[in-house]
Chain A
Amino acid sequence: MTGLRLTLPEASINAHLVDIAFLVICGIGGAILLLLLGLLLTFIVRYRRGTSARRGPLPEIWSREIEIGWTTATIFVAIFIFWWFVGASQPPPHNLPGQLEIHVVAKQWMWKTQHPGGAREIDSLHIPVGTPIRLVMTSQDVIHSFYVPAFRLKQDVLPTISTALEFTPTETGSFHLFCAEFCGAQHSRMTGTIVVMSESAYARWLRRQPHGDSLVREGENLYAKFGCGACHAPDSQVHAPKLAGLAGHPVLLSTGAQANADDAYLRRAILEPRADIVAGFSPIMPSYGAVADTSDVEALIAYIKSLPVEGKPR
């Protein structure tokens, strides 16, 4: 990989769109630049001191018209570029069928990734070509940024808030993964490799991985380890809400407000149980912020989400 690099592979659908946008704006900007430089040079040569070119004042009205002309023209070009790229860059498709959801946890200074089956990687990510991928990312400490130049994609990875990145790789091969937000001493070493493989190769690769617990299974273990069931099990003596079927449904809070039990809500319920108290319960649940790290919480959430709604198994 040494030597001069002149081009960057286009390894996702998005990459191609970005390159086109880049070329279009290069064209427009280049034309404007050439026009300006051309005028500049012409004037410099023609009107340098001592030439016999015509001089003398310009009529006032004239310059007004010109002024208004180029102002409108610029506004028009600016709006055109804006309008054009808004149209050309469709928002990434949501929840495509067959989408692969991969969890990414960033910390100083490494990338931890986890596949739906439970396989884990550090500083690398294997994905099948042609499959829509959704990365769900959080950070354990400072802000990082997940950047794959070959996909022309980048997304900051924040502590406590999860961000997502959706794309479909279109080319097999190995590509750089960079951390693009300054995050401390070894920011420049927080890099990795994205390996895009054919679907069959990916399946083979996955099989060869150590039997990592799946996220849900891991969550189940943690659920037992932390003793959540002591309160939340259906037959528990403690008055605590049932968690089955909770995810994705509205919850009535003691303030009278309603919350939606999305990932952020569940995360808060585990880390800061007192932030939102469910109506009809008392704030006795301890906070797990000190014992559960970010990936534990993700696992617990995955487990809670997997619990079947009573009566109708999933």
Chain B
Amino acid sequence: MNGPIPVGRPDYLRDGSTLRSWLFTTDHKRIAILFAIAITFFFFVGGAAITIVRMELVTPAGDLVSDDTYNKLFTIHGIIMVWFFLIPSIPATLGNFLLPLMIGAEDLAFPRINLLSWYLYMAGASFTLAMLVLGGVDTGWTFYTPYSTMFSNGAVLVAAGGVLISGFSSILTGVNFIATTHTLRTPGMTWFRLPLFVWAMYATSLVMVLATPVLAMTLVLVMAERWLGLPFFDPSRGGDPLLFQHLFWFYSHPAVYIMILPAMGVVSEIITCFARRRLFGYSFMVYALVAIAVIGFFVWGHHMFVSGQSAYANLVFSFLSFMVAVPSAIKVFNWTATLYRGSITFEAPMLYAFGFLGLFTIGGLTGLFLATVPIDIHVTDTYFVVAHFHYIMVGGAVSAYLGGLHYWWPKITGKRYPEAWARFAAILMFFGFNLTFFPQFVMGYLGMPRRYHVYPPEFQVYHVLSSGGAAVLGAAYLLPLAYLLVSLFTNERAGPNPWHAKGLEWQTTSPPPRLNFDRQPIVPNVPYDYHPKGGPVEREETANGDAA
């Protein structure tokens, strides 16, 4: 659709096949693939850890693993899933791959720093693997002091070191994305023509750059206290028991938006494409993204309602938490309104996007319960919280990641994935997910504390349901792994634009060449310029018209 491919021009996948050409590449697309391989590996490591946890929890007694092992398992699960899977997931893979394509650039602003990001991530990852070999760590992903600094017997230093290093990977990715978005937009790609995915990456990067260093320093202090014996947090030497929590959550609440903003970007792309509709309220969607990123910094104290924080601070943080929900609400309403008068089809990416909508909304609304101080006092540190964040992070963010992966799979690999299998997996995932995590809301409200290796028998029914769901969910995650890998070896070529979608990334070949575009892409004057009536024939026409 965009003129013939120059003869003998390889796509980025064939542009060199030595290991060296991969490990020393500065091509953002190849770095994205490197990241994708690494995070997929870690997703399954984190999943394997929690698989054992869910098996243990089938019975109230602690009969499968010892208490210490149990604690290490959920800690490893949390650390890996948060820092080595979900935070880099969409930004470092889809973001890395698509950001330059979507703005019509040849690469990110600092390609070598991009490669450095990957090496930093891998260095952090090796620390994490070393931590596993050294016997794991049992502090919870939150590293609360003084337990982590003075009491734990786990490999806290190595674990914290790994997280610290991977943090610098995030920071550099963030800097790179921000600079790229500001300086490498192709002529005509004005700020308000950017796809929402780019905006989401931009907002995410802001949070990465401004929040991550605080975590880094906090971990340095934890390590200094544990290793060198410098008193920073240790109450027995005058430390304030809550200081660590303030510093940790100053990062970790914004970090949850690092995890969800990219997902919101992906979903905006998918919904517009499969509803064949312009995005409803584009500018509001943009403002909402930036508002979430900024207001997200004001609410961290809602993790500390029972910590001994002052009652006044509780009220302030509670109020601000309600405020941060408003831009999220705007987004949910706009996605729904985008469907209005659309021409909707139900390919797998769209199914994932619907899943995201429902599950994110439930997760977000339960966030409002938690933001309500008296309710949180009851349900904090129970499975209610566990359910809340899995609804958003697994039901929301992971669904969006998988949706995005399917949506851009043809672009990334040049191959089509098996649609029927993909739809089946998406639906299976939705059911498995709800079966796993809905019972956790109920048992959480009934008082089942989290991080419990043994528990009173009256909660067993819920735990059994949840473990059953986890098995379904695990199977549903193995499916895409299998069929996507298989699809790599089929000969079903995807063509440049299998979805007849509108972003610039679809104006180049699949897979794209090393420098992304054979000829300057043409920027339409509005993003998501789908024909108002939808329908495949008209789409083909407008596309040709554009190219001419």
Contact = CB atoms under 8 A, between A and B. Distances in A.
Contacts of A93: none
Contacts of B345: 48-49
B341 A47 contact: yes
A214 interface: no
Given A3-B461, A18-B375, A25-B368, A44 B339 contact: yes
Interface stretch (B32-40, B84-92, B445-453): B445-453
B446 A25 contact: no
A246 interface: no
Interface in B160-192: none
A63 B280 contact: yes
A153 to B, nearest CB: 7
Interface in A11-29: 14, 17-18, 21-22, 25, 29
Contacts of B456: 1, 176
Contacts, number: 238
A163 to B, nearest CB: 5
Taking chain A's interface residues, is the majority helix, strand, or loop, or is none over half, making it mixed?
A: mixed
Given A5-B459, A8-B446, A25 B369 contact: yes
B146 interface: yes
Nearest to B376: A154
Given A142-B151, A161-B308, A152 B342 contact: no
A91 B365 CA distance: 25
B330 interface: yes
Interface residues of A, number: 81
A74 B326 contact: yes
A44 B355 CA distance: 13
- Indicate the member of B337, B346, B358, B449 with the most A CB atoms within 10 Å: B449
Nearest to A54: B341
B474 interface: no
A47 B374 contact: no
B378 A188 contact: no
A307 interface: no
A37 B455 CA distance: 35
B223 to A, nearest CB: 18
B63 interface: no
Interface in A71-101: 71, 74-75, 78-79, 81-82, 85-86, 88-89, 91
B322 interface: yes
A70 B330 contact: yes
Interface residues of B, number: 86
Interface stretch (B43-51, B311-319, B482-490): B311-319
B336 A22 contact: no
- Indicate the member of B62, B238, B322 with the most A CB atoms within 10 Å: B322
B2 interface: no
A47 B340 contact: yes
Given A40-B354, A161-B235, A178 B447 contact: yes
Nearest to B234: A159
B159 interface: no
Contacts of B147: 142-143, 182-184
B381 A145 contact: yes
Contacts of B357: 36, 40
Contacts of A176: 447, 456
Contacts of B275: 47
Nearest to B454: A188
B533 interface: yes
A55 B340 CA distance: 8
* Cβ-closest 5 pairs across A and B: A149-B447, A43-B339, A5-B458, A188-B452, A152-B378
Given A152-B378, A182-B71, A185-B138, 4 more contacts: A7-B446, A32-B365, A67-B330, A70-B330
30 contacts: A3-B458, A5-B458, A21-B375, A22-B375, A25-B375, A43-B339, A43-B344, A49-B535, A53-B341, A55-B533, A58-B280, A67-B281, A67-B330, A70-B333, A74-B330, A86-B315, A141-B151, A143-B144, A143-B147, A143-B307, A152-B374, A154-B380, A155-B306, A179-B449, A182-B451, A185-B138, A188-B449, A188-B451, A188-B452, A188-B455
